[in-house]
Amino acid sequence: MRNEKLNLIGKRIVISRTDSLGDVVLCLPVASVLKRLYPGCTVIFLGKSYTRDLIDCCEYVDTFADWEELRKTEQGLASLKADAIIHVFPVKEIAIAAKQAGIPLRIGSTGRFYHWNSCNKLVRLSRRHSALHESQLNLKLLVPLGARRLFSLNEIQDLYGLAKVHHLTSEQKSLLSPDCFNLVLHPGSKGSAREWGLQNFSQLIELLPKDKYKIFITGTAAESADLKESLLAHHPEVTDLCGKFTLAELIAFIANVDGLVAASTGPLHIAAALGRTAIGIYPPIKPMHPGRWAPVGPCSYPLVVNRKCSKCRKHGECSCMQEITPEMVRDKLFEIFH
């Protein structure tokens, strides 16, 4: 796997991915492959502050750097003393700053014009038109470092490295049922994905036997009010965890439940990466479809209607999502659990 022309053994390598939680989960295998390519290298993850707790769980990342804080400092990226930077999520400001900081090796995709001036290793990569999964596309950026051109999803599911997840407190453990399938429902997406709708989640709760399923609802504190009024008020047996966990605590809780149902969100990808049952609900529209964004894990099940459709591209109402019925999700859970 090693490329003798680019010897980064023992060097400092920055992975730049300053976007959402789910995107960052699918970027973690990049750190794993770097550690395999260049033993002893220091992997620095440049991201947004709210993803720090996730990065801290990854055994393949040595240091987290908060871009919003770093960009305010006089030294900026130069303070990282990096030997290489990989622009997994392209940001013009970061690409220019990396060149100005004098980072010797700067890898980016050809699809961003500013990379032609700011990077000295370019990878021909078109995410929008590719048939590959997002996690596979991320790893394509390591080809100049000696990685092979394609990793299978079965290989990728073993590369997350989430080995440093926090332990649950005794109070948090007491929420779980030893006799039931502990199931997290995560209805919201903060606008990052097509949503299935609270009515569908409510119907799913009604369909699941109460003596066999212990159900938890997760989400942000801001989402809690809507959930209480339209969903939780009708299902007093459900445990409301909205806004009650830090990200580190949520990751730990997901690691201890049996499964999670959500649209294409960060918690869905976290569940998949942790080997939990992860049922994702997706539209067929590109590039939102599961071919690009499915959860990748040993117990991952993306649900999508089998058709080509772009009717909802310009608005959020997606009839294809609504064709995935609560009964279909229930049947998938029964297939797994019974």
Q: Which of 144, 114, 189, 183 is nearest to 38 (CA)?
A: 144
**Do 160 and 28 form a contact (C-beta atoms < 8 A)?**
yes
To the nearest whole percent, how much of the chain has pLDDT over 70?
95
Angle, to 10 degrees, between the axis of helix 266-273 and the axis of helix 247-256? 50
User: What are the CA-CA distances from residue 200 to residues 179, 266, 325 (Å)?
Assistant: 26, 20, 7
Largest CA distance in the chain: 63
3-class DSSP state for residue 65?
A: strand
How long a stretch of residues is the chain? Answer: 338
Domains of the chain: 12-156 (3.40.50.2000), 170-337 (3.40.50.2000)
CA distance 331 to 128: 33
Burial of 273 (0-12, 13-18, 19+ CB in 10 A): buried
Q: With bands split at pLDDT 50, 70 and 90, how would you rate the model's confidence at 152? A: very high
**Can you tell me the mean pLDDT for 276-294?**
93
Tokens of 92: 């013009």
Of these ranges, 6-10, 84-88, 122-126, 224-228, the one predicted with the greatest mean pLDDT is 84-88
CA angle, 262 as apex, 294 and 194 as ends, to 5°? 75
Per DSSP, 157 falls in state: T
Read off the pLDDT of residues 40-70 as tens digits, 9 standing for 90 and up: 999 999 999 999 999 999 999 999 999 999 9
User: Does residue 213 carry a pLDDT above 70?
Assistant: yes
CA distance 263 to 283: 9
- Model pTM greater than 0.75? yes
Dihedrals φ, ψ of 172, to 5°?
Answer: -65, -40
CA distance 177 to 173: 9
Mean pLDDT of the chain: 93
CA 216 to chain centre: 20
**pLDDT computed for residue 291 by the predictor:** 94
CA distance 60 to 41: 10
List Cβ neighbours of 129 (8 Å cut-off, separation of 6 or more). Answer: none
Q: What is the DSSP secondary-structure string of 268-335?
A: HHHHHHTT-EEEEE--SSTTTSHHHH---STTEEEE--SS---TTTTSS--HHHHTS-HHHHHHHHHH
